[in-house]
Structure 1
Amino acid sequence: MATIIPTFRYDDARAAITFLTTAFGFEEHAVYEHEGAVAHAELKLGDAYIMLGEHRDAGSDLAYGGSTTYVVIDDPDAHHARAVAAGAEIVRELTDQDYGSREYAAKDPGGNVWSFGTYLPS
């Protein structure tokens, strides 16, 4: 068995959590703070998880910003409307793709691009 959990770093992890829950519908699963910063957090969307934490300049070899993640969802129109209402920066408008997916993409506060759509590899 293998489980893949994308992990992200943000300058302000608490603000990122607020954005991800408000704009994209994630739910807080666990948040651990250390010295006033989010050291580790787990957010849930359906049965899937992501992990995130505060970006640390010194002593960290973990990736920071610039990733792209695709999330399979049932209702991209409603999801897109939620993201727009929350002020998300839409970088690819909601559209029907020639491969059968309906999808859009938005940036989060850390510069990561999130694509949401109906395409599910089989």
Structure 2
Amino acid sequence: MAGTGGGRPSIYPTLLYADAKAAVRQLTEALGFTELALYEDEDGAVTHAELVQGNGAVMIGSKGRGGVFGAAMKEAGTVGVYVVVDDVDAHHQWAVDHGVEILMPPTDQDYGSRDYLARDVEGNLWSFGSYAPAISG
């Protein structure tokens, strides 16, 4: 379902999870991400993971590991991430078949996108759609 695309994105959403292994499993098995890297500490907690979808990527880690970033994220709320996919309806069906909580089925938007909204295992919101705005540098 997912590819690694080319080049390097300049923005990487970073999410911390109480159960980062479950999050990586859901994102790869049910939402079409590909695991690029996964690092664990001696206790098996995910210290850093990189998951790709198209030419974008997210970084995942375990909550409660300390450090400045971990402390700053300790009380953070859920996050929303938008991901462009080639076939919104097929992606949605794949997610449904894998038990992902769907908040909005595939819907045509006024601005030209077709997208759907899902919630992951720890409450973060993931939108998957066809809208890919051009960014000029």
- For the criterion TM > 0.5, the same-fold answer is yes
Q: Are positions 1:4 and 2:11 aligned together?
A: yes
> Which residue does 2:36 correspond to in 1?
29
- Structure 1 position 44, deviation (Å): 1.2
Q: Are positions 1:89 and 2:101 aligned together?
A: yes
Runs of 4+ in structure 1 deviating by more than 4 angstroms, as ranges, are none
Structure that is richer in strand per residue: 1
Deviations 1:76-114 (A, max 9, x none): 001000110110000111111121111001000121100
CA contact (8 A) 1:42 1:51 kept: yes
Aligned AA for 1:52? I
Aligned AA for 1:37? A
CA contact (8 A) 1:88 1:107 kept: yes
By relative contact order (CA 8 Å, sep 6+), the higher-ranking structure is 1
> Which residue does 1:47 correspond to in 2?
55
Unpaired runs of at least 5, structure 1 = none
What TM-score comes out, normalization by structure 2 length? Answer: 0.82
- CA distance in 2 between counterparts of 1:2 and 1:120 reads 14
CA contact (8 A) 2:54 2:85 kept: no
Q: Are positions 1:79 and 2:91 aligned together?
A: yes
Aligned residues: 122
Deviations 1:33-80 (A, max 9, x none): 012211111111122211101111755224345100111111100100
Tell me, what secondary structure is at the counterpart of 2:30?
Answer: helix
> Which residue does 1:108 correspond to in 2?
120
Unpaired runs of at least 5, structure 2 = 1-7
Identity %: 51
